[in-house]
Amino acid sequence: MFATGDATLHRAAAGDHESFATLIHEHQDMVFSIAWHFLHDRARAEEIAQEVFLQLYRALGEIESPAHLTFWLRRVTANRCIDESRRRWRVVTLDQAADIARAADETDPLLIRRVGQLLQRLPAQQRLAITMRYQEGLEPSEIGEILDMPLNTVKSHLRRGLSALREWLGVTL
Amino acid sequence: MNIDGTLRKTVTRTSAPEGIAAGVLSRLDQTSTRQPFRPASSMLWRVAAAVVLTAALAGLTAHQVIEHRRTEGERARREVMTALHIASSKMRAAQHAIAHD
């Protein structure tokens, strides 16, 4: 007997497009948001989300459970983002970084937007680790499994990424 | 300022644009209708090619057998004619010898 998620997954794997559309609706915010925070480009993030779900359709037979599906989507989205970062190079100027230092309130919409921009200055692995940590609320060990890297490497990426952001923001913690 | 708190507010899940599912399903439909040769039809083409090749080889072999038989028949006919010619000459020589005796 399948649980609801299992049944949807099972039907989608059998070729039922309606069930596959349900899977997309359930996970599209997660996939799109990872790509969006990584790229800061809505159009490209949407394109990557579509490519991830197309890849999922071809791999549905390998997906064993809803939890495996979530893990698979996070990993494939992360890999797509890394591939994308190799094709292009986004630059946030130092002037923008300096503007951030003036903001002090963590609920300030301007600050939140600027931090989002500053994230783009981080190396790809640090950016992904921070996205998985703060967007998905994952532990470093879980991030290591998704990004296929040792625990200490994940911790190092998180530490360095946060340190860089603090420095750019002029924060002493 | 709390960097953790700021990041939690910055890196949150946002709503995906409408139409991702429709776009994916549309691309799936395009992919499935863009494949004119499926494995089954590819196999049919291979079988048809094998049949044509086999028929051509069989025709060539039959032609060679028939040609060989025709050549053999022609040679046998020439030998029979030569034998008849020799027998006829011998017969005439014998008749000539009898007539002069």
ipTM of the modeled complex: 0.73
CA distance B38 to chain A (A): 17
Q: Does the predicted model carry a pTM greater than 0.80?
A: no
How many Cβ atoms are within 10 Å of B49's Cβ, its own excluded? Answer: 10
Confidence of residue A4 (pLDDT cuts 50, 70, 90): low
* Chain position carrying tokens 């429709």: B22
Residue type, B14: T
B2, B9, B10: which to substitute to probe chain A, counting the most A Cβ within 10 Å?
A: B10
Selected residue with higher pLDDT from A13 and A86: A13
State how far the Cα of B61 lies from the Cα of B65, in Å rounded to an integer: 6
What SS3 string covers A59-122?
A: HHHHCCCHHHHHHHHHHHHHHHHHHHHHHCCCCCCHHHHHHHCCCCCCCCHHHHHHHHHHHCCC
In this complex, is the C-beta atom of B17 within 8 Å of any C-beta atom belonging to chain A? yes
Confidence of residue A131 (pLDDT cuts 50, 70, 90): very high
Residues of chain B with pLDDT under 70: 1, 33-41
Question: Per-residue pLDDT for A75 more than 50?
Answer: yes
Question: Per-residue pLDDT for A111 more than 90?
Answer: no
Verify whether the Cβ–Cβ distance A53 to B8 is below 8 Å.
no
State how far the Cα of A27 lies from the Cα of A76, in Å rounded to an integer: 13
Q: How far is CA A59 from the centre of its chain?
A: 20
State whether the Cα torsion B84-B85-B88-B93 is positive or negative: negative
Q: For position A3, what pLDDT does the model report?
A: 56
Range with the poorest average pLDDT among A49-53, A54-58, A168-172: A168-172
